[in-house]
Chain A
Amino acid sequence: KAGVTQTPRYLIKTRGQQVTLSCSPISGHRSVSWYQQTPGQGLQFLFEYFSETQRNKGNFPGRFSGRQFSNSRSEMNVSTLELGDSALYLCASSLEGGLDTEAFFGQGTRLTVV
């Protein structure tokens, strides 16, 4: 069974640009979550989608947005990039997104803003 796939693995963007990251969950998983990982802030929750609906959102500015498609694939978009957006962005999927279900993570997209 294929794991969570994130594309691209690495990305370099210029400040002010926008970027779209993609996540394909494990087949059959309906919940997709996104996290930002930085050395200073650790792992921070961005948002979670379940059956194409955003179910929860973290404390990030409106420049961070996402969506989920009918096949459960998800994208996140960051507009007007800032240097501080440089981070590892991790996507996780789970079967039903219940409180007791584990999430499986992709390898992440390393975004560098210059």
Chain B
Amino acid sequence: AQSVAQPEDQVNVAEGNPLTVKCTYSVSGNPYLFWYVQYPNRGLQFLLKYITGDNLVKGSYGFEAEFNKSQTSFHLKKPSALVSDSALYFCAVRDNDYKLSFGAGTTVTVRA
């Protein structure tokens, strides 16, 4: 089965600094990878996905992610973090049976 891991429970950064949220994956076959963000008491919002092609994927709200096949990683990045980026971030992989398998999530806190 496909799986993803988010090695950091929490990430703290100052506003204006670069933000990175880490994700590693384990798949057999082609990886279909996704990033979602969740604000308190809300559902998940889709940020971006990697299917194939360019290793740098651009998504919503200024986020991008870098796919690295040799390191089996799919890290989420934002060049300059905002306080409003504080939220819970999930990495996910689509299994061959169509379900999404999520990582445990990383809480991002951006301090003013």
Which chain B residues (78-100) contact chain A, with CB distance < 8 Å? Answer: 90, 94, 96-100
How far apart are the CA atoms of A110 and B34 in the complex, in Å?
Answer: 24
Report A-chain residues with C-beta under 8 Å of the C-beta of B96: 99
Q: Determine the residue in chain B with the shortest Cβ distance to A47.
A: B99
CB atoms of B94 and A33 under 8 A apart: no
Is residue A106 contacting chain B, with contact meaning CB distance below 8 A? yes
Expressed in whole angstroms, the Cα–Cα distance for A58 and B98 within the complex equals 11
Interface residues of A in 6-53 (CB under 8 A from B): 6, 31, 33, 35, 42-43, 45, 48, 50
Is A105 in the interface zone, CB < 8 Å from B? Answer: yes
> For A103, what are the chain B residues with a Cβ–Cβ distance below 8 Å?
46, 100
Nearest opposing residue in chain B for A55, CB measure? B98
Interface size on A, residues (CB 8 A): 27
Say yes or no: A56-B46 contact (C-beta < 8 A), given A42-B105, A43-B102.
no
Q: What residues of chain B lie closer than 8 Å to A55, measured between beta carbons?
A: 97-98
Inter-chain CA distance A47–B104, complex, in Å, is: 19
Q: A100 near B51 (CB under 8 angstroms)?
A: yes
Chain A residues in 8 Å Cβ range of B34: 102
What residue in chain A is nearest B30 (Cβ atoms)?
A99
Pair A105/B43 contact, Cβ less than 8 Å = yes
How far apart are the CA atoms of A15 and B33 in the complex, in Å? Answer: 38
Query: Does A81 have its Cβ within 8 Å of any Cβ on chain B?
Result: no
Confirm or deny: B17 has a beta carbon within 8 angstroms of a beta carbon on chain A. Answer: no
Q: List 21 A-B contacts (CB under 8 A).
A: A31-B98, A33-B99, A33-B100, A45-B99, A56-B98, A58-B99, A90-B43, A97-B98, A99-B30, A100-B32, A100-B51, A100-B94, A102-B34, A102-B46, A104-B46, A105-B36, A105-B43, A105-B45, A106-B43, A107-B41, A107-B42
* A residues lining the B interface (CB < 8 Å): 4, 6, 31, 33, 35, 42-43, 45, 48, 50, 55-56, 58, 90, 92, 97-100, 102-108, 110
Extra contacts besides A99-B30, A100-B94 (10): CB < 8 Å: A35-B100, A43-B90, A43-B102, A56-B99, A92-B44, A99-B94, A100-B49, A105-B36, A106-B43, A108-B43
